[in-house]
Amino acid sequence: MKTLIYGAGSMGIVLGAYIVKNGGDVTLVHHNPLQVKALRDNGARVVGTVDITASVKAILPEEMEGLYDIVILLTKTRENDANVRLIKDFLAPDGVLVTPQNGLPEQPIIDILGEKRVLGCTVAWGATLRGLGVSELTSSPDSLSFSIGTPSGVRANHQDDVKRLLELMGEVVEEKNFIGARWSKLLINSAFSGMSTVLGCTFGQAAKPMASRKIVLALIKECIDVCTAAGIRIEPVQGKDAVKLLDYNTWLKKQLSLFILPIAIRKHALLKASMLQDIEAGKLCEVDGINGAIAAFGRTVGCPTPMNDKVVDVIHRIEAGELRPSFDNLRYF
């Protein structure tokens, strides 16, 4: 299979290194010539909870040629329309584009490529770019899992091939209720990525003080309430059922959920939100596609999301230079 990782940033470097290290064949694409040169000269280097270096093929977008059977899209969702339209010319007629991204990216891509050419994918691990060609894996090595599926339940092109490819890195679960798996990921991202970005810290640090922990739990509760109103069943992630663990309707259950929260995120405590990484690099982030997506969906089903609305507002103010990521931002909640 001719396979491409489009977006050799923090996550793409880790995935590419694992695939090649374990016998797979993949080409990494990045728009930055310096990143491509570093990958060509030094390989894909993964540090942090593991230490891996793999010799990889790396190219610029303009060096893509021929048709690819599998394209794994690891760019920001706000760039999807332009990137998918470019990739479309290089995707085989029976090829498939895989979406291990944040938010709810599948349907707009299906509108461009067609249903069977898009395979939804969520990941339960994270990484931080540490330099040219170097990425830090910030999740525990025993938590490297993927969920794949389609919004309609129809099997995508090459779904078995994608499963085998991703299994070179970790466990792959084929979800019959992929929308529920997608919302599981969005629940985690909205709460922990949102507050990690607002506060300028890791997931574990956001869950530690009670003041920020209460906001993280409130964000989770809003996501659960929106899905309940929409009739969406949120799927467990790595055996953990967020709804059973963290939903609450009584004072006692809320206190139990607050106690559980730091324990539930312990394998990903060192993870630093990609939104925060973008802001630190002087870029716009994906908050509108994460917390903003929950707020927008909440409006369509008549479910208020005041905490997600506040996260969107504070992060936009950080992007505009009015605020900086800091625990001082707790005063806005």
Interval 279-290: pLDDT, tens:
999 999 999 999
pLDDT per residue as tens digits for the range 242-261? 899 999 999 999 999 999 99
Q: Percent of the chain, pLDDT > 70?
A: 100
Distance CA 207, CA 104 (A): 24
149 DSSP β-pair partners = 120
* Angle between helical axes of 80-88 and 106-113 (0-180°, round to 10): 30
What confidence score (pLDDT) does residue 267 get?
83
Query: What's the 3-state SS for the chain?
Result: CCEEEECCCHHHHHHHHHHHHCCCCCEEECCCHHHHHHHHHHCEEEEECCCEEECCEEECHHHCCCCEEEEEECCCHHHHHHHHHHHHCCEEEEEEEEEECCCCCHHHHHHHHCHHHEEEEEECCCEEEEECCEEEECCCHHHCEEEEECCCCCCCCCHHHHHHHHCCCCEEEECCCHHHHHHHHHHHHHHHHHHHHHHCCCHHHHHCCHHHHHHHHHHHHHHHHHHHHHCCCCCCECCECHHHHHCCCCHHHHHHHHHHHHHHCHHHCCCCCHHHHHHHCCCCCCHHHCHHHHHHHHHHCCCCCHHHHHHHHHHHHHHCCCCCCCHHHHHHC
Strands 44-48 and 134-137: parallel
pLDDT at 98: 98
- pLDDT the model gives residue 237: 79
* pLDDT tens profile 165-222: 999 999 999 999 999 999 999 999 999 999 999 999 999 999 999 999 999 999 999 9
Residue 77's nearest CA partner among 102, 45, 113, 56 is 102
pLDDT at 97: 98
Model pLDDT for residues 208-246, shown as the tens digit of each residue:
999 999 999 999 999 999 999 999 999 987 778 889 999
Q: What is the predicted pLDDT for the residue at 59?
A: 98
Give the pLDDT score at 124: 87
Does the pTM of the predicted model rise above 0.85? yes
Per-residue pLDDT, 43: 97
Average pLDDT, the chain: 95
Q: Is the pLDDT of residue 92 over 90?
A: yes
The answer on pLDDT for 114 being more than 90 is yes
Measured CA to CA, the distance from residue 68 to residue 153 in angstroms comes to 24
Separation between Cα atoms, residue 24 and residue 39, nearest integer Å: 17
pLDDT for the residue 268: 85
pLDDT given for residue 143 in this prediction: 87
Model confidence band, residue 161 (pLDDT cutoffs 50, 70, 90): very high
The pLDDT tens digits for 303-326 are 999 999 999 999 999 999 999 999
Integer angstrom CA distances of residue 248 from 200, 208, 242: 28, 20, 11
Nearest partner of 287 among 298, 276, 297, judged by Cα: 276
Amino acid at 181: A
* Domains with residue ranges and CATH for the chain: 3-176 (3.40.50.720), 180-332 (1.10.1040.10)
Q: How confident is residue 332, by pLDDT bands cut at 50, 70 and 90?
A: very high
